[in-house]
Amino acid sequence: MRPQIFGINGVRGKANVWPITADVVLRLGQAAGQCFKRSGRSNSVVIGKDTRVSGYMIETALTADFASVGMDVILTGPLPTPAIGMLTRSLRANLGVMISASHNPFEDNGIKLFGPDGFKLCDAEETAIEVLLERPYDVVEPSLIGRARRIDGAAERYINFSQQALPRDIRLDGLKVVMDAANGAAFRMAPNLIWELGAEVIQIGTDHNERNIKDNLGSSAPDSYCAKVLEVGADIGIALDGDADRVIVIDEKGKVRDGDQLMALIAERLKSQDCLAGSTLVTTVMLNMGLEQHLAGHGIAVDRTKVGDRYVMERMRAKKYNLGGEQSGHIVMDDIATTGDGLIVGLQALAAMVETGLSASEILARFEPLQQVIRNIAIDRSSTPLERPAVSALISEMTAALGDKGQLVVRPSGTRLLISVMAQGHDLGLLQKMTLDLERVIRAETVLQQRDQSWAHEIHSLKQPMADGARSVST
């Protein structure tokens, strides 16, 4: 059976290595096109990308794929992921595609798919595409082959769309903003948007060369932009990831304010305006427990999901909530956007500063977070250490020790070959010891599992019957 190519956030991996190879991408595009084509109407797909050089390879393959099954292709060039969701819906396309590995290293790339409503595909839709991958090619006759064209003004459309997320009378005059675009998809439009609203903008991460995306920049590498905020005396810093669907904010003191603080700010603002649907924030099991306790004091409930923005979005849509997100800064405001939008979320912090006259440190220190320790442990594709009895027993023991005063979350990453360990509570020393002990056991059990698999393979080989024509020889 062919391995499943979809993870929790589309298809992702190292460029030119399965599943991000030209041949797999060709089949994926054809399968997705067949799945979303509609008879009796024109069919189109919007394709955007970030600034990775491998995006050319994937974009070209996908263009051929979709054209071969009779879909017209609209190419946007580098554009944030949320812009692709917006354009898919506004251009009435059958499908949207974003070529990006988000916050992953330059060598990686990925494919995110959006339905005609601008939302990421659900499990059932991805499964339908997986099924078609196994079937014979089904291309159209020559007269029905699709066309490809580049769309003009896509960035301007997205800037106008983003500006509508602010009240009309909001201006950023007098604010000095450091804008870090991680040399990614928003390298042009992010600073332009903030500048058009009146702020003084100091740019970093806006000089991409197709090989330096996220190069010690962006939302997952805080040192560079924290230093820049302090160096230039900025009022605030806004850092995006490679495809601009995540954001982290830095206050004027150079302190990082993560997605939990941003979600607290936005939830309280919406609640005060009687606009927070269900008085509920949807987030994942990775949230800081301090956030949950803080929101409870404001009459706001927390609905937790598995890790992954798709699960947050699915819960929001199922229960008609309008705010959800993750500590990483992937935050969805469903009344405005169909997926996480780093620029729109960053604008909420700027709007709060203008409306209140308070500093970034005052508006973004919403609660005192519990101590958290996170470790990421590299594994290979065949390793399943969380299934080992020694690991599961230690996790149970540590969970019991933390009780209701802390939390331990151990999970495989949905986008990289990692086991992520997060522990939170009041005693930093205890959390550090727990996560280190767990890392050691996971590494040890991974080695043992690899040895067991090697022995099993050798035994299986010895048991195989001799090939035809071979004979045993005794002496």
Concatenate the DSSP letters of all residues of 397-445 into one string. HHHHHHGGG-EEEEEE-SSSSEEEEEEEES-HHHHHHHHHHHHHHHHHH
| 242, pLDDT greater than 80 | yes
Give percent above pLDDT 90 in the chain. Answer: 79
- Per the model's pLDDT, the better-predicted residue between 449 and 334 turns out to be 334
Please give the pLDDT value at position 394.
Answer: 96
| 414, pLDDT greater than 80 | no
Q: Tell me if 173 sits within 8 A of 196, measured CB to CB.
A: no
pLDDT in tens, 98-131: 999 998 889 999 999 999 999 999 889 999 999 9
**CATH top-level class for 371-456?**
alpha beta
| 276, pLDDT greater than 70 | yes
In angstroms, the CA 129 to CA 5 distance is 10
In angstroms, the CA 452 to CA 446 distance is 10
pLDDT in tens, 344-401: 999 999 999 999 999 999 999 999 999 999 999 988 877 889 999 999 999 999 999 9
Architecture of domain 175-364: 3-Layer(aba) Sandwich (3.40)
Tell me the pLDDT band of 470, cut-offs 50, 70 and 90. very low
In angstroms, the CA 77 to CA 219 distance is 22
Q: Tell me if 49 sits within 8 A of 78, measured CB to CB.
A: yes
pLDDT in tens, 176-201: 999 999 999 999 999 999 999 999 99
Average pLDDT of the chain to the nearest whole number:
91
pLDDT in tens, 54-90: 999 999 999 999 999 999 999 999 999 999 999 999 9
Return the beta strands (E) in 279-360 as ranges. Answer: 280-284, 301-305, 323-325, 331-333
Please give the pLDDT value at position 312.
Answer: 95
Please give the pLDDT value at position 356.
Answer: 96
Q: Tell me if 119 sits within 8 A of 112, measured CB to CB.
A: no
Q: Say if residue 222 is preceded by a cis peptide, omega within 30 of 0.
A: no
| 474, pLDDT greater than 80 | no
Task: Return the active site residues.
Answer: 102
Please give the pLDDT value at position 215.
Answer: 82
Q: 52 — phi, psi (to 5°)?
A: -70, 140
Tell me the pLDDT band of 11, cut-offs 50, 70 and 90. very high
Tell me the pLDDT band of 316, cut-offs 50, 70 and 90. very high
Q: Tell me if 373 sits within 8 A of 428, measured CB to CB.
A: yes
| 451, pLDDT greater than 90 | no
Work out the average pLDDT over 149-169. 91
Work out the average pLDDT over 320-346. 95
Q: Which CATH number fits domain 11-152: 1.10.10.350, 2.40.50.140, 3.40.120.10, 3.40.50.1370?
A: 3.40.120.10
Task: Report residue 279 CA to chain centroid gap.
Answer: 25
Q: Tell me if 194 sits within 8 A of 201, measured CB to CB.
A: yes
Lowest-confidence region among 155-159, 265-269, 273-277, 380-384? 380-384
10 forms bridges with which residues in the sheet? 7
In angstroms, the CA 77 to CA 170 distance is 30
Please give the pLDDT value at position 472.
Answer: 38
What is the token pair recorded at 95?
């499908």
CATH fold match for the domains 11-152 and 371-456: no
Residue ranges per domain, the chain? Answer: 11-152, 175-364, 371-456
